[in-house]
Chains A and B, each alone.
Chain A
């Protein structure tokens, strides 16, 4: 151990730390939150504060910057798809590039389900967006990386839903 750099461990990858996604936020370019998923327990007030802060940080960044921002003890990994920003908060030592692909895979799953997914799909079918996310990620960890398997699970559950007739017979709003 004769090397003596003062910054030893400045950004040490500590293998003994948890690594998982802490939360995922989807928001529009106008700063409207479209989806929030928390994998750590926090009071509602704290969540609202975090959401405001993060949307502001990300929206103020230029286009050609990296997809990573240090935020408190965590790291934000984000990417924009059309009008929507997808942002994950991960541990400082977690794998940033793979998190970008978690986001991409989620977008692919949404796309497969909705067909050319757009922001409106997520607004009007927010519950579906949550279900799809749940099929893909549990407790902040990726559950199923195969697109086929995940999509099949979602489509199977749609099969379990009411028939159109049943639906039409329900009283409207």
Chain B
């Protein structure tokens, strides 16, 4: 097998594992569908936007939770945002943590919130590193002259 096929195979295996482990869900697939000749960098753009957004949100969340008196409404709003963006790009695990985060917010459970914050940070970093790796693989395939296989 030549380099391109090997890379493609690697890409497929990696992608499959991402879905299998729940890092990504169908929404990510939808995103990839939106990428075409008129919009070749769509996915990367959206994902970069997500990363930016998420960094900000996480910072704000940390700040908010470290307040002496926690403003749960604000926290809830931030988590809601995070949930929205993560579900938009299909970061499933992040989204799931956000859901339970919101529950703790409603209960006004500080420890629960803290725990969730840690969890969501953790999940976020996991998915970020994986997406970075995915994009790197894509670059490699394109550099080797191949085409990135489409997942449906």
A and B associate in one complex = no
* Chain A residues with a Cβ under 8 A of chain B: none
* Chain B residues with a Cβ under 8 A of chain A: none
